[in-house]
Structure 1
């Protein structure tokens, strides 16, 4: 009597072992296929990221249009994409082209001697002799600083000129990537809600955790692009305009540099307009210098305090020191896209640790899932 039962038990155990082996084999194969797919799309990481970010920013516009025309998802998604192209893509292309042209022109003028950086340095030294004494008193070698400054200017100009040539040579590749980004953006705008639900259903992290992480992704992307980037662009544009009015060479170049520096906490556009005002004092242009200094203190510097609360609103704001390190690290790792990717990774890092602390260290303080409208 015991033999059939043992045989059934043995067969059941063999089936369980087989199922366990098949499950593990499937998971391993799934991981291998997923890694292979990620390697396959790795060259398209930048357009995919910007497609996700752009769709996230413009999705509220699509949702508003769909309330008025609920039976035309394709047309409304296309209209939203056209708005994105007009408001975002075309201005970026125009500014980037002007920036490269002015940077290359300025570099060639310095290289040919039309702009004498050494002479400008000496003018500043002669205009502020007390500063020279102070620097020499603390052991600063002014001549060495001058040579390093000249070398830095030439290296920066050479870098910009070299990359400008590479951009020109890779124009076809750039527009292919841009086309892929816009193509993907269309589908992300139209099918974004379905894709989010699919991701939540597929990931084995738990629905509450997935909702939290996706909400964090949305918050930081909005805060970085809608808030920080718009504020930085506004400051750079205002700086470029005043440079143009005062007749300072290459206003677009300086405006773009002020935009990039405005993305970094504790740095800001003052790193450009303040030395420019000092230079104007040094070369005998006190009226222009005073106008630039007053404009920088009252207009450019106040934009951050006025616009950021309106644009960012309730979106999560990371500590300034974390934004600084994650932005700089992101720029080193991912290039120009790193100003958005860096803070996003930092925010996800904090979100994962927040989940760990609340669920595993203090399980009594369970996370409440975010509201659907937060996604």
Structure 2
């Protein structure tokens, strides 16, 4: 009854149960833990450099790293967030007062449209123009209500956000300071061949660093360029549209165009040809080039994944996990490809050390 196999089975069941329970306890702080880990991976090279400069004082180096992270990442985001809330309130008020009237904008496009286009719309039974205008008015009204409700929700969730924020900072400090020790403990604890574990953990950290660094850089660049273009052309709520473009730019290839494209069409349809031309030029040749050049360099090159895998994993991750999915999706895809590569190289059996060493060597050559 007390055989070693039974004891091992009971122990493994207990291990699985307490692990699942621990993850369940951490679920309310899932976002805080994820971003704490991501920022720790991103700022670990800075911590190591500061540790050398401070002659091996880990606490001082970790606190300095945390302060730099606050100064260059978190505080700017907080300032943009405060300005965004004010911009949302102003845009919502303008929509309700009629100063921003999407139905009127749509009517201007209809008035400027050629008759052959209106006939084509009717021929394909896309509905009469009056019905379309009514739909646009209804959508605009619903959008204003959604924006107002989301702003209210943000205010109600301020306490949860503050708690999660300080949990993230607290966790970030210890992950930066003790990250090397924790990584070694994980490598020793995972029941895999040590080269396999080392290769997979390296892939995990590389993909997180490349995804956060690359996607955030692309989002900031596209949002800033688009927002400045909107401000220069006199579009109301330029900051709001800039943040939306930055958020949508997390979707490779098509993101920011969902914002600047309809605005450019409106400019052209209402006779503002130079504004429409400028916006199309900026959107295609500036924002588009940022996406097509900067993203593959910062994301695809380091992750060593094809662009279509990055695209599908990013969209799928965001569909499942929300904003956190733009990190989780590519990480899952990279680990999937790495695990199957190890399995294929091992001859489907147990040559784990040789397979991991060969895969790791190939990765080092590609980096070199």
For normalisation by structure 1, the TM-score amounts to: 0.87
> Cα deviation per residue 1:84-122 (whole Å; 9 max; x = unaligned)?
111111111222232233233323322332222111001
Counterparts of 2:250 and 2:88 in 1: how far apart (Å)? 20
Counterparts of 2:81 and 2:322 in 1: how far apart (Å)? 15
Aligned with 2:119 (options 117, 120, 133): 133
Between 1:295-304 and 1:177-186, the stretch displaced more is 295-304
Q: Which residue of 2 aligns with 1:213?
A: 200
Cα offset for 1:179?
Answer: 0.7
Q: What RMSD, in angstroms, separates the aligned Cα atoms of the two structures?
A: 2.5
Q: Which residue of 1 aligns with 2:6?
A: 21
Unaligned regions of 5+ residues in structure 1, if any? Answer: 1-13
Q: Which residue of 2 aligns with 1:355?
A: 342
Aligned with 1:367 (options 334, 356, 361): 356
Cα offset for 1:306?
Answer: 4.2
> Cα deviation per residue 1:231-267 (whole Å; 9 max; x = unaligned)?
1211111111111122111111111111122111231
Unaligned regions of 5+ residues in structure 2, if any? Answer: none
Contact 2:187 2:194 in 1 (8 A): yes
Aligned with 2:247 (options 260, 269, 274): 260
Between 1:68-77 and 1:182-191, the stretch displaced more is 68-77
Using a 3 Å threshold, how does the CA distance of structure 1 residues 117 and 314 change in structure 2: closer, same or farther? closer
Greater than 6 Å deviation, 4+ residue runs: 362-365, 371-374
Output aligned runs, 1:85-96, within 5 Å: 85-96=70-81
1:323 aligns with 2:313: no
Q: Which residue of 1 aligns with 2:327?
A: 340
Counterparts of 2:300 and 2:311 in 1: how far apart (Å)? 20
Counterparts of 2:94 and 2:219 in 1: how far apart (Å)? 28
Using a 3 Å threshold, how does the CA distance of structure 1 residues 303 and 111 change in structure 2: closer, same or farther? same
Cα offset for 1:299?
Answer: 2.1
Using a 3 Å threshold, how does the CA distance of structure 1 residues 29 and 255 change in structure 2: closer, same or farther? same
Cα offset for 1:344?
Answer: 1.6
Counterparts of 1:247 and 1:128 in 2: how far apart (Å)? 23
Counterparts of 2:312 and 2:142 in 1: how far apart (Å)? 25
Output aligned runs, 1:101-180, within 5 Å: 101-129=86-114, 130-143=116-129, 144-180=131-167
Output aligned runs, 1:24-43, within 5 Å: 24-43=9-28
Aligned with 2:42 (options 57, 63, 77): 57
Counterparts of 2:283 and 2:84 in 1: how far apart (Å)? 21
Contact 2:253 2:292 in 1 (8 A): no
> Cα deviation per residue 1:7-52 (whole Å; 9 max; x = unaligned)?
xxxxxxx8xx533322222222222111111111111111000000
Cα offset for 1:145?
Answer: 4.1
Cα offset for 1:142?
Answer: 4.8
> Cα deviation per residue 1:317-351 (whole Å; 9 max; x = unaligned)?
43333333332332232222122112222222222
> Which structure has the larger Rg over C-alpha atoms?
1
Cα offset for 1:134?
Answer: 3.3
Cα offset for 1:181?
Answer: 0.3
For normalisation by structure 2, the TM-score amounts to: 0.89
> Cα deviation per residue 1:57-108 (whole Å; 9 max; x = unaligned)?
1111111222222321111111111111111111112222322332333233
Between 1:258-267 and 1:74-83, the stretch displaced more is 258-267
Contact 1:215 1:370 in 2 (8 A): no
Counterparts of 1:197 and 1:285 in 2: how far apart (Å)? 62
Contact 1:103 1:253 in 2 (8 A): yes
Counterparts of 1:338 and 1:97 in 2: how far apart (Å)? 24
Contact 2:252 2:291 in 1 (8 A): no
Between 1:182-191 and 1:358-367, the stretch displaced more is 358-367
> Cα deviation per residue 1:249-293 (whole Å; 9 max; x = unaligned)?
111111111112211123131222122122123334333222222
